[in-house]
Structures are given as C-alpha cells and as structure tokens.
Amino acid sequence: MKLTKNNLDLMKKVFEIKPCVVLRAKYSQACTPEFFKFYDENINVGDHKVLDVEDYGRFISTRSSRREPAITRVITSLAYKVDKKMISLAEGMPNEGVFPFKKLSMDMKKGGGIMMEGKELAAALQYVPSQGLPSLLTELRKFQEDIHRPPDVPRDLMITNGGQHGIYQCAELLLEPGDPIVTTEYAYTGLHSTLKPYQPEILGVPEDNDGLIPETLECILEDRLSRGLKMPKMMYVIPTGSNPTGTVIPVERRMKIYALACKYDFIIVEDDPYMFLNYSGRPIASFLSMDKAGRVIRLDSVSKVVSAGLRGGWVTAPSPLLERLQLHSQAELLHPCTLSQAILLKLVQCRETLGSYLKSARDLYWSRRDALHSALQPLEGLADWAVPDAGLFFWLRVRDVDDVYSMIHTAFERGLMLVPGQAFIYDSNASCQYIRLTFSKIRLEDMSTASQILSEVIRDEQKKSLEKEPKRYATES
C-alpha cells in the first residue's frame, strides 16, 4: 500500500492505529472515597442527541481541520505498540545510552518516595506519543472513570502542559476569528490572553454567589437566536472555585447549563483546577459526569495541588475532538515533558497516597481561607465579599469607588500587591470595582497588616471619590 502523507484514514489503516479509545465504565463497586466523587447517581439530564462524527465537524475550526498527522509521530506511537522483536530503522529517537542520568529519586514529605533508574528512567527521558506516556494515559483513564463516571460516549484523554495549554488548544480547536464565546462576566486572565488574537465576541454572563446564572445565559442565547446572530460554539467555565470570583456552581445549575448546551448547540469547556480545593465538604458532580451527549471538554491540572512547575494536566474530550487536539500537540511541542509525566504516573498510581496529599492541600488552603476572612474584618463597611467555598480567591467589591485601578498603585507604593478586577475583564480598559485577593502564599502573620493597608487605601480612595462627586456618593453610601 502506498503511503500518502495527507490522508489520516489511510495512515490509520496502514498502522492499524486507533488514536482514540472509548472510556468505558470499568469502575468496580469497591468504595470510592467521597473525596474522589465528582458524580451523582441521582442526576438525570434528560435525553439529548448524542453527537456523532459528522456533528463535530461543525465545531472544528478551519485552522484545526487543516492539521494533518506527522508520519514520524505516527511511527513513534506505533513504536510503543509493536512487538519488541520488530527491527526498526524508522524512529528518530535518541539512543538511551547517551542520557547522562543514572538514577532519580525524590523523597516525599509524608514518607516513601519516587525512584527511577535503569530502563524505567531511560523511558522517562525518551520521546513518547503526542497523546502522552501510554502508562499514564491508562492510569488516568481509570482515574477519570472512577471519579467522574462519565456516560458511555466515545471519548479519551491526552496529556497537556497544564490547564493553560488545554485552554489554548480548545480555542484553536473550536474558534474562528470573531466568533462569539460564552464565559463569565469576569473570567480567568489566561482565557483572555488566549482569545485576543481571535478578536472574539465575548458573551460574559453575570454571576451571583452561585456562579454563572443559567437563566441569564438563556436570555442572552434566546435574544441572539431571535435576532439571527451567530451562535456560540464554545462556553468556558470554571465550575469549582472560579478564578477570580471564587464561586462554586451548584449541581442544579450545572444541569441547567448542560441542558442549554444541548438546546443551543455548544461545547462546554470545563476548566477545573480547583476541584479538590472544595471547602464545603459536599462532592459536586462535574459537567463531564453528566455528559450524555458528548458536549464536554474537561481540563484537569495538578498545578494548584501537587506542583505548578511539573506542568501536569490532561484534557478529556469526545474522540473526534481529541483526535484533532493530538494533531495540535504534534505540531506545537511533540508531547509534554516525559519526565513530568512519569512523576505524575507515580503519584496517581497510588490513589490512597494521592488522596492523603490532596486532602492536606485542601486543609492547608481551607485554614488559610479562614485566616484571611478573619483578617479582613477591618474592611467591613468598606467592601463586600462572600467567603469562597472553593479555590484560592476572595473577590472584593470596593464600595463607593468606580474604578480600583489607581488604588492598586497606591497600595503598591504602601507595600501591598493586589490584582485589580480589570485583569479579569476582556476589555482591560474598562472600569472595575473589584479586586482579587489570593490566600495561597501570603504569610499568615502578614494577613492583618495587608488588611490594614487595604482598608486605609480604600478609605483614601473613597474620600477622593466623594470630593469629586459629593452628591452621588453621599446618596449611595
């Protein structure tokens, strides 16, 4: 058979490669600790058409649809599958003999450790398929099945360089320049920086204390539909501990949002790096767990709970979309760092140890959240905030100040760094009353000083506002 480099189907036939496998519910009835439960047996999202390969065609962007597999990458995938007796003059892999490392060992804080040497270490330093280290993929497939129990739709996962990489990939996969995209009114900066070159139309849905409001989303979509405007193909949402607002979307709302995705035909990109930092003690079903129709792309990351520098993340997506994402990875980085993937594998292989680390991480942030909340008491009457049920952020609305931007500079001069709400608005020139406070790394003993400086800065700013527009602020406050 003649190889034509332009034909993915042919390549698949030649090498008998199935780039995507079906995640099947292989979950045994053995108990999953509540901590690892991101599904709800009682959820019923109703019946919706399951998207098929042709349906996905309308979501895939022109740029993405032009991508073709690199023959050498296909051969690398194949090399991991063929019999060891196969003789190869094909692969461009380096000879492991040139790797200068003999042994890698990392002691864990809670005892035990990670050790790699010999063939195992050599494999952790070698090229791997773009989808990821095969043994890690196998382990993560089990992990996703156990903790989300996604409905039986053809889907698979791919390793990414953290969640940000996943966001970038989703934009490339789904968006045409100028496309509308649904997200929250205030959204993660990394989304905006990804989107800027696309010059999209941002449909920013307001949030209340329970996050994105589905009824408002429906009004926005219905209005667009009735006016014949282009409808969004993608929604980006941080369901648990949103950055910056700290909100957690309750399961009833998640179901309504999912139903809207089916009704108005869009894909939900669920970016969930704060899933394990849930201080409510109640497990919440993920969008993936209710995805009967194949409309969810889920982004996971270990950055906030294991290590940010490992750049460990993975994307779980319906197979036809994942196939495209693999082609993006082939072209942009061949694959994420194998050594990081090998370390991640060691961590997820022992669910009990992982659970204990994740719980410690949650408890550490939980106590820090409470500490900052107590420290913020001097701000009562000057600002409004809700105590976040998850994540790492307080989202403060400063009273009687239209725009916090200059206040942030004053605070900086007095020794306190803050992020203005503008960082989370697509149009960063807009005025904004909000600031984001992160409690992850500040020294506990600095919290009350920070709060003191902040309250003084707010008072000074309010005074300036009152001097500028005495009537308005006198009636408002």
Ligand X SMILES: Cc1ncc(COP(=O)(O)O)c(C=O)c1O
Q: Segment contacting ligand X (CB under 6 A): 159-167, 215-223, 225-233, 278-286? A: 159-167
Binding status of residue 194 toward ligand X by CB under 6 A: no
Please give the Cα distance from 296 to 171 (Å, whole number): 14
Q: Residue from 243, 286, 326, 329 that binds ligand X (CB under 6 A)?
A: 243
* Contact with ligand X (CB under 6 A) among 188, 394, 434, 439: 188
Q: Which long-range contacts (CB under 8 A, 24 or more apart) does 22-28 make?
A: 22/152, 22/154, 22/155, 22/156, 22/319, 23/141, 23/144, 23/145, 23/150, 23/155, 23/156, 23/157, 23/316, 24/145, 24/152, 25/145, 25/149, 25/150, 25/152, 26/142, 26/145, 27/145, 27/146, 27/149
Strands 234-237 vs 267-271: parallel, antiparallel or unpaired: parallel
Question: Within its chain, how far is the Cα of 427 from the centroid?
Answer: 22
Nearer to ligand X, 301 or 330 (CB): 301
Element containing residue 393 per DSSP (H, E): strand 393-398
Residue 164 lies near ligand X (rule: CB under 6 A): yes
8-15 and 71-79 helices cross at what angle (nearest 10)?
30
Find the shortest distance in angstroms from Cβ 162 to ligand X: 3
Decide whether 187 or 411 has the Cβ nearer to ligand X.
187
Q: How many residues bind ligand X (CB under 6 A)?
A: 13
Nearer to ligand X, 162 or 283 (CB): 162
Q: Which stretch binds ligand X (CB under 6 A): 97-105, 157-165, 222-230, 424-432?
A: 157-165
- Smallest distance, ligand X to C-beta of residue 191, A: 8
| Contacting range for ligand X; rule: CB under 6 A; set: 44-52, 158-166, 192-200, 210-218 | 158-166
- Convert residues 253-272 into a mask of x (bound to ligand X by CB under 6 A) and - (unbound): ------------------x-
Does 163 bind ligand X (CB under 6 A)? Our answer is yes
Asked if 214 touches ligand X (CB under 6 A), the answer is no
Render 317-350 in DSSP notation, one character per residue. Answer: EEHHHHHHHHHHHHHHHSSS-HHHHHHHHHHHH-
Q: Which region among 141-149, 160-168, 214-222, 321-329 touches ligand X (by CB under 6 A)?
A: 160-168
162 interacts with ligand X by CB under 6 A: yes
Cβ distance to ligand X smaller for residue 264 or 395: 395
Stretch that binds ligand X, among 60-68, 161-169, 247-255, 402-410 (CB under 6 A): 161-169
Enter the tokens of residue 158: 């791919």
CB of 364 to ligand X, least distance (A): 17
Q: Is 183 in the site for ligand X (CB under 6 A)?
A: no
Of 452, 434, 438, 342, nearest in space to 396 by CA: 434
Query: Residue 303 or residue 448: which is nearer to ligand X going by CB?
Result: 303
Q: Give residue number: closest CB to ligand X.
A: 162
Over the window 406 to 435, marking each residue x when it contacts ligand X by CB under 6 A and - when it does not, the resulting string is ------------------------------
Q: Does 238 bind ligand X (CB under 6 A)?
A: yes
Question: 371: left (phi > 0), else alpha (psi -120 to 50), else beta?
Answer: alpha
Other beta carbons less than 10 A from residue 97's beta carbon: 6
Q: How far is Cα 12 from Cα 155, in angstroms, rounded to an integer?
A: 18
Q: What is the DSSP letter of 6?
A: T
Any residues with CB less than 8 A from the CB of 7 and at least 6 apart, and which?
none
Residue 139, interface with ligand X (CB under 6 A)?
A: no
Query: Would you say 135 or 307 has its CB closer to ligand X?
Result: 307
Q: Does 239 bind ligand X (CB under 6 A)?
A: no
Query: 188 vs 264, which CB is nearer to ligand X?
Result: 188
Q: How far, in Å, CA of 8 to CA of 242, rounded?
A: 38
Q: Which is nearer to ligand X, 257 or 458 (CB)?
A: 257
DSSP state letters, 311-325:
TEEEEEEEHHHHHHH
- Cβ atoms 460, 410 nearer than 8 A: yes
Select 242 or 326, whichever has its Cβ closest to ligand X: 242
How near is the Cβ of 412 to ligand X at its closest, in Å? 21
Binding mask 347-386 for ligand X (x = CB under 6 A): ----------------------------------------
Backbone angles phi and psi of 57, in degrees to 5 = -55, -35
Task: Decide: is 303 part of the binding site for ligand X (CB under 6 A).
Answer: yes
Among 69, 313, 388, 420, binds ligand X (CB under 6 A): 313
- Comparing C-alpha atoms, which of 437, 160, 176 is closest to residue 271? 160
Type of residue numbered 236: Y
- Residue nearer to ligand X on the CB measure, 22 or 333: 333
Cis? peptide before 244, omega within 30° of 0: yes
308 binds ligand X (CB under 6 A): yes
Nearest CB to ligand X, comparing residues 273 and 320: 273
**CA distances from residue 2 to 13, 69, 75, 160, 166 in whole angstroms, order as listed:** 11, 16, 16, 33, 35
Query: Which residues contact ligand X by CB under 6 A?
Result: 162-164, 188, 190, 238, 243, 271, 273, 301, 303, 308, 313
